[in-house]
Amino acid sequence: MMGSLRRTDTTNTADVNPGDTIIELSNVAFGYTAANVVKDISLSIDAGEYVAVVGPNGSGKSTLMKLILGLLRPDAGEARLFDEPSHAFDDGSRIGYVAQHASTSKNMPITVREVVKMGRFPHVGFGRLSEEDWEIVDRSLDAVGMTAFADRRVTRLSGGQRQRAFIARALAGEADLLVLDEPTVGVDAESVDAFYDLLETLNHDGITILLIEHDLGAVVDRAERVVCLNREVYFDGPTTEFAESDALSRAFGATASVLSDSQ
Amino acid sequence: MILAMAQSLQAGPIDVLLGPLYVFLELWSEFLFLLAGITGLELLTFKFMHRAILVGLCIGVMAPLIGTFLVHRQLALIGDALAHTAFAGVAVGLFLNAVLNLGVSPYLTAVVVAMIAALFIEIISETTDAYNDVSMAIILSTGFALGTVLISLNAGGLSVSVNQYLFGNLATVSVENAAILLVLFAVIIAVVGLTRNQLLYVTFDETAAQVSGLSVSWYNRVMVVLTALVVVGAMQIMGVILVAAMLVVPVAGATQISKSFTQSILVSIVLAELAVLLGIGAAYYGEATAGGVIVLFAVGIYVLAVVVGKVWMTAGETTSPELGAIDSNDTDPASD
């Protein structure tokens, strides 16, 4: 056991208390063109929650995530992050972000350790990584089982291995909020289970988790709260109620079920 | 040549600022005379070659350094576009000198014009959300067209000196221009040294960089302005038409044989320096245009790197380490 992945330095950011509102959307609408991709989204996520956003392909899940992170600005309504307008929020050390990277291929020569190192950049700014920063990098590598691959070129890894590296980068950031956009796409089934266990442990440590997922099975088993999305919010509540509600069939269409959609 | 000499004789405020660098250039010259005495190499016995070698060495560091970031952002073409706008800047400088008798180095006006063009390209791409091939091509053509028109308007003797800007020339690196290059070099190294983390993050993963609080558009602007500086600096020897090759070719070679990003920067600098030194030597003894010879050496080295890279890959990838388990117990809540 290498010690905690949770932040070891509490000096650089104001700590969040459980129950503080981290993400708040009120009546948000957004469209890349005149047509709205998402509309009437009101959502509030508190510190310490484990929330999964589910919805069919093209339902606006990724757009919602970008609005939350401030990568997009809402056409209507307001998006707030850590009690600041999302687009103005710039304390990157509080957010860990894992995207659907596994499918992207870049020809850039860069090792797994160099990728994970980037997780520390918001903490070091223009400076150099301290010994402690490097320890955190190594611990994060260890947590995702990639220590043996630390000096491998990322471009020569399998999709699953690459995704582990990106997850390690998010861990190395020691963030208060982890945002993951379909993080297990391309990851082998065995690692997927272990990965969700890891998220659960992080959540128990007090990290807020926002998971965008297409794999409904994984979500129903793990998250405390589900937001079901298809342009609008169809359901927002405890996972147990979600399974019993008809939100799923309304959002996904009549034929969808938890099992058939899990692949 | 005469033009350049005439400029260096006019002691303006710029000469005062560059004064310490002239002293450094003298020292460098002394050193190479010493080296010439030891090695007996004829090309080291000329002062203009001393300056050319120094400029070449600086190009060998700064071009692949900036090029590494550009190539991995699929922005290899931007160097070419900026070189052609820098040519317009040279023409503006020559024009002002002819009309107003200002006596500024055309490289200084080239720096200004290329930087403006760089920011212009960047702002276009920000508003259209993409680095657009078409707008890049338009800026490239506009720059070059503006350059040729300005020079033809001047007519007379000026068209003679245009070749040195188009193709580069070892013999025309004046003391003043060498000093200007040293300043550009220092600025580039300092800025990359300061912002290396940010530039790496933005290059590798723009979205994650933005989420982590970096102003991506700001660092993109820094990047294109640095590119403009490199292009103008390297133009003296490489020429407008071939300068972009030094941003791209050594980097492409290094990509083949490097594992890490840091390593790839170092390797690309080594490859570029090799090409520069071999190229300057061969150009001197073969009486050829240095820019072209340097690029041919760089391409030769690139081909070698591809072969070496392929051999290494087939030899090195036979063993695969064991993938560890994702260990959620590593996150120890007790210490929170």
Domains defined along chain B, listed by start? 2-242 (1.10.3470.10)
CA distance A256 to chain B (A): 31
Q: Do B261 and A69 touch (CB under 8 A)?
A: no
**Spatial CA neighbour of A98 closest among A209, A236, A262:** A209
pLDDT in tens, A172-209: 988 889 999 888 777 777 778 888 888 888 888 888 99
- Report the pLDDT averaged over residues B136-147: 87
Cβ–Cβ under 8 Å, residues B331 and A168: no
> How far apart are alpha carbons A28 and A64 in whole angstroms?
9
Residues 195-234 of A with CB under 8 A from B: 195, 197-198, 200-202, 204-206
How does DSSP assign B124-187, residue by residue?
Answer: HHHHHTS--HHHHHHHHHHHHHHHHHHHHHH-GGGGGGHHHHHH--STT--HHHHHHHHHHHHH
Q: Residue B335: which pLDDT band, with cuts at 50, 70 and 90?
A: very low
> How far apart are alpha carbons A234 and B256 in whole angstroms?
50
**Is pLDDT at B295 greater than 70 in this prediction?**
yes
In this structure, of A23-32, A234-243, B130-139, the range with the lowest mean pLDDT score is B130-139
3-class SS string, A161-172: HHHHHHHHHHHH
- Report the pLDDT averaged over residues B219-246: 90
**Is pLDDT at B314 greater than 80 in this prediction?**
no
Strand-pairing partners, residue A41, are: A28
Q: Do A92 and B214 touch (CB under 8 A)?
A: yes
Q: What pLDDT is attached to residue B300?
A: 95
Q: Are strands A225-230 and A50-54 parallel, antiparallel or unpaired?
A: parallel
Write down the H helix ranges in B72-105. Answer: 76-100
Task: Report chain B residues whose CB lies below 8 A from the CB of A144.
Answer: 324, 326
Residue A46 DSSP one-character state: E
**Is pLDDT at B75 greater than 70 in this prediction?**
yes
- Report the pLDDT averaged over residues A19-34: 84
Helix pair B175-204, B2-9: axis angle to 10 deg: 100
CA distance A70 to chain B (A): 8
The two three-digit tokens of residue B281, written as one number? 């030597």
CB of A92 within 8 Å of a chain B CB? The answer is yes
Q: What pLDDT is attached to residue A189?
A: 78
Between the alpha carbon of residue B250 and those of residues A238, B21, B169, B274, B298, the distances in Å are 56, 28, 21, 10, 6
pLDDT in tens, B142-198: 898 988 888 877 755 555 567 778 888 888 788 888 888 999 999 999 999 999 999
Q: Residue B318: which pLDDT band, with cuts at 50, 70 and 90?
A: low
Residues whose CB falls within 8 Å of the CB of residue B25, separated by 6 or more in sequence, listed in order: B50, B51, B54, B175, B178, B179
Residues whose CB falls within 8 Å of the CB of residue B130, separated by 6 or more in sequence, listed in order: none
Task: Report chain A residues whose CB lies below 8 A from the CB of B306.
Answer: none
In this structure, of A134-143, B41-50, B253-262, the range with the lowest mean pLDDT score is B41-50
Burial B167-184 (b: 16+ CB within 10 A, else e): bbbbebbbbbbbbbbbeb
Q: What pLDDT is attached to residue B5?
A: 46
Residues whose CB falls within 8 Å of the CB of residue B143, separated by 6 or more in sequence, listed in order: B81, B84, B85, B86, B87, B88, B113, B117
Which sequence spans correspond to the domains of chain A? Answer: 21-103+174-252
Q: What pLDDT is attached to residue B316?
A: 66
**Spatial CA neighbour of A213 closest among A191, A185, A235, A234:** A185
Q: Do B211 and A95 touch (CB under 8 A)?
A: yes
Q: What pLDDT is attached to residue B328?
A: 59
The two three-digit tokens of residue A181, written as one number? 């956009």
**Is pLDDT at A216 greater than 90 in this prediction?**
no
The dihedral formed by the CA atoms of B233, B239, B244 and B245, expressed in degrees to the nearest 10: -120
Of B213, B259, B336, the CB nearest to A122: B213
Which of B128, B328, B335 to probe the A interface (max A CBs under 10 A)? B328
What's the mean pLDDT when you consider all of chain B?
Answer: 83
B31 Ramachandran zone, left/alpha/beta (phi>0; psi -120 to 50): alpha
- Report the pLDDT averaged over residues B105-111: 87
Task: Give me the percent of chain A exceeding a pLDDT of 70.
Answer: 86
**Is pLDDT at B49 greater than 50 in this prediction?**
yes
Q: What pLDDT is attached to residue A243?
A: 75
The two three-digit tokens of residue A37, written as one number? 């991709």
**Is pLDDT at B336 greater than 50 in this prediction?**
no
Note the residue count of chain B: 336
Q: Do A149 and B212 touch (CB under 8 A)?
A: no
Cβ–Cβ under 8 Å, residues B326 and A143: yes
CATH class of A21-103+174-252: alpha beta
Q: Do A152 and B259 touch (CB under 8 A)?
A: yes
Q: Residue A258: which pLDDT band, with cuts at 50, 70 and 90?
A: very low
> How far apart are alpha carbons A135 and A121 in whole angstroms?
14
How does DSSP assign B12-45, residue by residue?
Answer: -HHHHHHHHHHHHHHHHHHHHHHHHHHH--GGGG
Q: What pLDDT is attached to residue A246?
A: 76
Q: Do A149 and B323 touch (CB under 8 A)?
A: yes
> How far apart are alpha carbons B186 and B168 in whole angstroms?
22
Cβ–Cβ under 8 Å, residues B176 and B105: yes
Of A1, A110, A201, the CB nearest to B204: A110
The two three-digit tokens of residue B5, written as one number? 């000499």
Q: What pLDDT is attached to residue B294?
A: 93
> How far apart are alpha carbons B218 and B119 in whole angstroms?
10
- What are residue A43's phi and psi, to 5 degrees? -160, 140
**Spatial CA neighbour of A195 closest among A143, A154, A150:** A143
Strand-pairing partners, residue A225, are: A51, A238
| A225-230 sheet: strands from edge to edge | A95-98, A177-181, A208-213, A50-54, A225-230, A232-238
- Report the pLDDT averaged over residues A66-75: 88
- Report the pLDDT averaged over residues B322-332: 62
Residues whose CB falls within 8 Å of the CB of residue B140, separated by 6 or more in sequence, listed in order: B80, B81, B84, B85
Of A71, A148, A195, the CB nearest to B207: A71
Q: What pLDDT is attached to residue A25?
A: 86
Residue of B nearest to A123 (CA): B212
Which of A105, A121, A149, A190 to probe the B interface (max B CBs under 10 A)? A121
Size of interface A-B (CB pairs under 8 A): 156
Q: Residue B131: which pLDDT band, with cuts at 50, 70 and 90?
A: low
**Is pLDDT at B299 greater than 90 in this prediction?**
yes
Task: Report chain B residues whose CB lies below 8 A from the CB of A153.
Answer: 259-260
Q: What pLDDT is attached to residue B11?
A: 52
Cβ–Cβ under 8 Å, residues A170 and A97: yes
Strand-pairing partners, residue A21, are: A46
Task: Report chain B residues whose CB lies below 8 A from the CB of A197.
Answer: 326, 328
> How far apart are alpha carbons A89 and A87 in whole angstroms?
6
Residues 40-79 of A with CB under 8 A from B: 69, 71
Q: Residue A16: which pLDDT band, with cuts at 50, 70 and 90?
A: low
| Distance linking the first and last C-alpha atoms of chain A | 34
Residue of A nearest to B329 (CA): A1
Which of B323, B329, B332 to probe the A interface (max A CBs under 10 A)? B323
B103 Ramachandran zone, left/alpha/beta (phi>0; psi -120 to 50): left
Residues 174-193 of A with CB under 8 A from B: 179, 191
pLDDT higher at B77 or B9: B77
Q: Do B211 and A198 touch (CB under 8 A)?
A: no
Q: What pLDDT is attached to residue A242?
A: 79
pLDDT in tens, A145-160: 888 888 888 888 877 7
Interface predicted TM-score of the whole assembly (ipTM), two decimals? 0.84
Q: What pLDDT is attached to residue B317?
A: 60
* pTM for the predicted model, two decimal places: 0.85
Of A6, A101, A111, the CB nearest to B259: A111
Q: Do B336 and A121 touch (CB under 8 A)?
A: no
- Which residues of B have a CB under 8 Å from any CB of A? 72, 194-195, 197-198, 200-201, 203-205, 207-208, 210-215, 254-255, 258-264, 317, 321-336
**Is pLDDT at A13 greater than 50 in this prediction?**
no
Residue of B nearest to A67 (CA): B211
> How far apart are alpha carbons B97 and B103 in whole angstroms?
5
- Report the pLDDT averaged over residues B221-229: 92
Q: Residue A12: which pLDDT band, with cuts at 50, 70 and 90?
A: very low
Residues whose CB falls within 8 Å of the CB of residue A204, separated by 6 or more in sequence, listed in order: B333
Of B72, B208, B260, the CB nearest to A97: B208
Residue of B nearest to A111 (CA): B260
